[in-house]
Amino acid sequence: MLFAKSLVEKSDKMVKPKDAVQKMSPYHPPTSGRGKKLRLDFNENTIGCSPKVIRALQKIDSNAMSVYPEYEDFKPVLAKHLNISPSELILSNGTDEGIKMIIDTFMEGGEEIIIPTPTFAMFKFYASVAEAKITEVLYNEDLSFPTDKVLAAINPNAKLVVLVNPNNPTGTSIAEEDIIAIIKKASENNAIVLSDEAYYGFYEKSSINLIKKYDNLFVTRTFSKAFGLAGIRLGYTLSQKDNIAALAKAGSPYNVSTLAIIAAKAALDDVEFVNKYTQEVRDNTDWFIEELSKLGLSVFPTDANFVVVKIGEKCGEVCDTLKEKGILVRNRTRDPLLEGCIRITIGTKEQCDQVLRELKTILGK
């Protein structure tokens, strides 16, 4: 009893986190021991990175490890790959930090972020830490992008409009004319637009060219998905150079590791590897959806390397049974619009076949 009392007293006098953080729930994606399973739960590349990356990492020496990272040689290589100028680009510790950098640089507490939802959790997460006013706009029932609702939501208090193209977890993309309409409405309201292209490669359209024309657009990309380098934590943000200079002012000078730079440089030296893989995934998509449909499941259309599959009430059970069979998929039933749905990453033909076989057994088909 005394012990319990003293604990309470202690907890009362402890310095508390700021209000915004106290109100947040912890974000704990389930990520332990995934490497040896068939990883279809996080939309990673399912075959590993280019062997050239491994060979480049094997050459690193002990002295290079001790030096603070240097980015000046790498940025022009990446810029050339993207057909932009190095001054239009800033590196980040995964896209995660890119998102945080944009919020930290542009948003005052109380300003509004517009987030079409369901989407990647980190937008709301960093906006909460920054004490932004969060306005979630629901995707359409068919998981298509709610252009009119997003346009209607943009108001003079809005500072940032988030687009994820194609979106995770819905898999759906946004038409370029809609993106432009949103950029224009945002600009009239002194707001910026962030278009996250994490799934570029699997989806072949991009808004990068729009940064030349619209000075309130930011595009984020990552090496975590198509390039098969989720482990290195490397993303980047593209925008007009004044915007990039502003992000650099608020960003950390050594945010990306030397090893990430070595790996990414080698990966860019073997884009054929990535192109072949993304082509294979795109080729599998229609067939995989058709096969899933044959099992009596309804599957939403997708422009990314994953599909949303409606399982219904047994959705959690199906995920658990697949896990027992060594296949990881993601239960999305708690997301708005996705009740009873799981999300499955599309891998190689063989990997898709493996999922189909197990699902057939589980569903008794």
Which residues from 199-258 bind a copy of itself, rule CB under 8 A? 215-216, 224, 228-233, 242-243, 245-246, 248-250, 252-258
What φ, ψ does residue 33 adopt, rounded to 5°? 65, 35
In the list 66, 204, 324, 364, the residue contacting a copy of itself (rule: CB under 8 A) is: 66
Contact 170, 141 (CB under 8 A): no
Is there a contact between 161 and 150 (Cβ–Cβ < 8 Å)?
Answer: yes
* CA–CA gap between residue 316 and residue 145 (Å, rounded): 27
The rounded distance, in Å, linking the Cα atoms of 104 and 90 is: 15
Given 40, 44, 118, 179, the residue binding a copy of itself (CB under 8 A): 44
Grouping H, G, I as helix, E, B as strand and the rest as coil, residue 341 is strand
- Cα–Cα distances in angstroms (integers) from residue 197 to residues 205, 226, 296, 322, 358, in the given order: 9, 11, 32, 29, 32
Q: How far is CA 95 from the centre of its chain?
A: 7
61 touches a copy of itself by CB under 8 A: yes
| Interaction of residue 187 with a copy of itself, rule CB under 8 A | yes
Site string for a copy of itself, 161-180 (x = CB under 8 A): --------------------
Sequence-separated (6 or more) residues with CB below 8 Å from residue 240? 88, 211, 212, 215
Type of residue found at 278: T
In whole angstroms, give the CA distance from residue 158 to residue 303.
Answer: 28
Site size toward a copy of itself, by CB under 8 A: 91
Cα–Cα dist 62/74, whole Å: 20
Residues 115-134 within binding reach of a copy of itself (CB under 8 A): 122, 129, 131
Q: Which residues make beta-bridge pairs with 194? A: 162, 218
d(CA 102, CA 250): 9
Least distance from C-beta 318 to a copy of itself, angstroms?
A: 23
Please state the closest distance from residue 231 (CB atom) to a copy of itself, in A. Answer: 3
Closest distance to a copy of itself from the beta carbon of 234 (Å): 8
Separation of CA 351 from chain center: 22
Which residue in 4, 5, 8, 33 binds a copy of itself (CB under 8 A)?
33
Interface of this chain with a copy of itself, residues 255 to 284, rule: CB under 8 A: 255-260, 263
25 interacts with a copy of itself by CB under 8 A: yes
Instruction: Note whether 69 binds a copy of itself by CB under 8 A.
Output: yes
Listed ranges 37-45, 296-304, 335-343, 354-362: which one lies at the site for a copy of itself (CB under 8 A): 37-45
Q: Which of 3, 4, 8, 18 binds a copy of itself (CB under 8 A)?
A: 18
Using CB under 8 A, which residues numbered 92 to 111 contact a copy of itself? 93-94, 96-97, 100, 104-109
Nearer Cβ to a copy of itself (41/358): 41
Among 1, 8, 11, 204, binds a copy of itself (CB under 8 A): 11
Alpha carbon distance 317, 342 (integer Å): 11
Site for a copy of itself contains 10 (CB under 8 A): yes
Q: Is residue 198 a contact residue for a copy of itself (CB under 8 A)?
A: no
Question: What is d(CA 258, CA 67) in angstroms, rounded to the nearest whole number?
Answer: 8
Among the listed residues 19, 177, 272, 324, the single contact to a copy of itself using CB under 8 A: 19
Q: Nearest distance from residue 280's CB to a copy of itself, in Å?
A: 15
